[in-house]
Amino acid sequence: MEGYESFKTKIYQFTGINLSSYKERQMKRRIESLISRNKFSGYESYFSELKKNKDLLEEFINYLTINVSEFRRNPQQWDVLEKDIMPSILQKSKKPKIWSAACSTGEEPYTLVMLMNKFMPLSEIEIHATDIDSGALEKADIGMYNEKATKNLPPDDVKRFFLRNGDFYQIKKEVKDQVKFKKHNLLEDKYPDNCDLIICRNVMIYFTEDTKSVMYHKFHDALKPGGVLFVGSTEQIIMPNRYKLTPLKTFFYQKK
């Protein structure tokens, strides 16, 4: 399909999303299937309608951002966080600053609250959670999940932190209150600073190598010395030393 280059420019001007930072083949394939599904002839006519039609724009952003998530995704890695990494973070900071970047519909930051509650009272926990997709953040705020999303959680945690509502699981208010959700674009917006732990999982895979490299530098700057970056299971950093990060355990990197 012709016209992707100028579509990228127009989308950037219109939404602030820079499609050039995402792997092109994958992104083009997704957008083109959306264009055909909506019966547009090409990029140009699709964009003209996107500008006018809020639902279409929302569908576009939703489709683009792939919000798949689950509680305690890749449980073995969360076990490492709980048993090895968190105790050493807590030795340095009594109230660690934790950022769940690209948190999607909330499963990741809520998992963090449950994990931290093994070490401290709920009221002392504060998780910063961000995503580019306001639709995902709204769902996170509603906090209603199906059974599949909770499959990796210990049954005791499901009982303690959720209210059963028919086929759904509602995250309890006391968990929700400990998470501050905010819209944030990892490619454009300022990163927080002084973080003890940053969790950024299952989003880097969508970005080009150049973009990843810029982001690893920014994550480095966002961490305290000794702070830890936790990445997704297919997202190991090649030569982390380039970013002044030291491998601690597989999928965990420490700022020197």
Ligand X SMILES: C[S@@+](CC[C@H](N)C(=O)[O-])C[C@H]1O[C@@H](n2cnc3c(N)ncnc32)[C@H](O)[C@@H]1O
**Between residues 84 and 138, which has the closer beta carbon with respect to ligand X?**
138
**Residues 112 to 141 in contact with ligand X, rule: CB under 6 A:** 131-133, 136
* Token representation of residue 205: 């895979």
In whole angstroms, the minimum distance from the beta carbon of 22 to ligand X comes to 8
**Residues 3 to 62 in contact with ligand X, rule: CB under 6 A:** none
Interhelix angle 134-142/54-65, rounded to 10 degrees, is 80
Q: Is 212 in the site for ligand X (CB under 6 A)?
A: no
Which is it for the CA torsion 69, 71, 73, 77, positive or negative?
Answer: positive
Cα–Cα distance, 61 to 145 (Å, whole number): 21
**Between residues 20 and 45, which has the closer beta carbon with respect to ligand X?**
20
In whole angstroms, the minimum distance from the beta carbon of 136 to ligand X comes to 5
Cα–Cα distance, 103 to 137 (Å, whole number): 8
Q: Is-contact 172 163, C-beta < 8 A?
A: yes
**Residues 91 to 110 in contact with ligand X, rule: CB under 6 A:** 102-104, 108
Q: Which stretch binds ligand X (CB under 6 A): 28-36, 39-47, 199-207, 248-256?
A: 199-207
How many residues sit close enough to ligand X to count as binding (CB under 6 A)?
21
Q: Is 72 in the site for ligand X (CB under 6 A)?
A: no
**Token pair 């210990």 in the structure block, residue:** 154
245-249/252-255 β-pairing: antiparallel
Q: Would you tell me which residues interact with ligand X (CB under 6 A)?
A: 65-69, 73, 102-104, 108, 131-133, 136, 185-187, 201-203, 232
